[in-house]
Amino acid sequence: MWFAPERIREEGDTPDYRFSLANERTFLAWLRTALALIGGGFAVDQFLPDLRWAWRIGLALALLAAGVLCSLRAVNHWVRCERAMRRGDDLPTSRFPVLLGLAVAVVALAMVVVVLFGWEG
Amino acid sequence: MTPAGEQVRDPGERVRDPGLQPERTRLAWRRTTLSCTVAAVLAGRAALHQGPTVPGVLACALCLLLWLGFLAVAHRRMVALSACGPRTLSLGTARAAALCTLAFAVCAAAMVF
């Protein structure tokens, strides 16, 4: 999906542009999620300075990795939705939102535990 | 969303999209650039926070360049959206915006580590 040279505009029929714009807004919402996760990675690193190094870096890298996955998935999902609309197929389903939610919940719980029990360096 | 009959009409007759979709999309781009700005500010803070080291400052400079790249991509798209019945987002633009985000995360990882 990412590196395929094919052009989406040449496939199927052009859908009503308003649906394409709605798809674009969904794409942007995912990019914002990615940027927020990246901001969260910076925040963990800067605002929890008393944490043990391994915990701090681990939590920050987990959030940054989630940001990378979100931005990759944003493009992939946008292309799949656009293609489905052009071909008149059903919109693609995805487990990604559930997985992301679970991953963020795990990171948040880890932070609460680490801060509460004060595993300082 | 308007009923399907709306789009069958003569395009010249359609004065304006009742759902303000291009406007909403433009604002969504604006919000996204704001999120990117927040991340860039945090990157700048990270570079100064731990004492300016050469790799840290380089990574921060790269983050700022990526931020500028993101702003440029968003600006071009927002100009395109101001046209009547704007074209679909191109795959290249979508990839460019996502690549800026991705590279931002990689720089952030380098700064944090």
Domain extents in chain B: 21-112
Residue A81 near chain B (CB below 8 Å): no
In this structure, is residue A36 part of a structural domain?
Answer: yes
**pTM for this model (two decimals):** 0.86
Consecutive H or E run containing A79: helix A53-87
Assess if residue A107 is contained within a domain.
no
What single-letter amino acid sits at B91?
Answer: L
Indicate the number of domains in chain A. 1
Query: What pLDDT, on the 0 to 100 scale, is given for residue B44?
Result: 92
Question: How many Å is the maximal CA-CA distance in chain A?
Answer: 60
Cβ–Cβ below 8 Å for A34 and B24:
no
Whether residue A100 lies inside any domain: the answer is no
Chain A closest CA to B31's CA: distance in Å? 8
Q: Do B89 and A20 count as a contact with CB atoms less than 8 A apart?
A: yes
Q: Are A27 and A75 in contact (CB under 8 A)?
A: yes
Calculated CA dihedral for residues B73, B77, B80, B81, nearest 10 degrees = -160
pLDDT along chain A (121 residues), means of 10: 60 82 94 96 87 88 95 94 89 92 93 79 51
Chain B residues inside the 8 Å CB shell of A74: 94, 98
* Closest in A2, A64, A79 to B108, CB measured: A64
Range of the domain at A86: 22-94
CA distance linking residue B109 with residue B113, whole number of Å: 6
Answer whether B94's CB lies under 8 Å from B57's CB. Answer: no
